[in-house]
Amino acid sequence: MPDLSHLWQRFVLASALVFGLLVGVAATIFGYSNTSTVTVGFAVFKLVGVPLWSVAIVPLVLVLAAGTLYHWWNNLHHFTEHMRHRHRVHELEAEVSTLKTHLDQLLEMPDGTQTKPAVVETVPVETKAETPSVATEPIPVNGEEPSTQKAS
């Protein structure tokens, strides 16, 4: 089953665009349909001759602008945190590589920069057998004198 999250995200963005355009068209129609003026008053604050459409549209625009600014500020915060963590990850990766290098040097491991294995020179060993120290006098056999022994 293919991952449809990308397509779903594009659909949501396109739907938001269409909805925003419809709200804009409705606000324009509402503004041109309601041209009469009204008096808006609060406790001590009073506005006279305010167009009727602005009573509905201006608060909507202010809320949308405030939400957009909050969203941008929130994204900026997440982006800076992401970059800070990314920078820290790069620092830690560099530290790990230096520690590996030091450990390899400590353990006398090859560092992997050689392209071919090192040639080990072999020293030829002489095969001359050493003669054990032997007494110079012949050993008597069966109690006979060495001079009377027969060579076999």
pLDDT in tens, 126-138: 665 555 555 566 6
Over 90: is that where the pLDDT of 99 sits?
yes
Q: Is the distance from CB of 80 to CB of 61 less than 8 angstroms?
A: no
**The two three-digit tokens of residue 50, written as one number:** 């305010």
Sign of CA dihedral 97, 98, 103, 108: positive
Stretch 107-131: mean pLDDT: 64
pLDDT score recorded for residue 22: 94
CA distances from 27 to 13, 38, 50, 52, 56 (A): 21, 18, 16, 12, 9
The owner of tokens 């449809």 is 4
Q: Is the distance from CB of 32 to CB of 51 less than 8 angstroms?
A: no
pTM more than 0.85: no
Distance of alpha carbon 144 from alpha carbon 124, whole angstroms: 46
- Which residues have C-beta within 8 Å of that of residue 137, sequence separation ≥ 6? 146
Stretch 4-13: mean pLDDT: 86
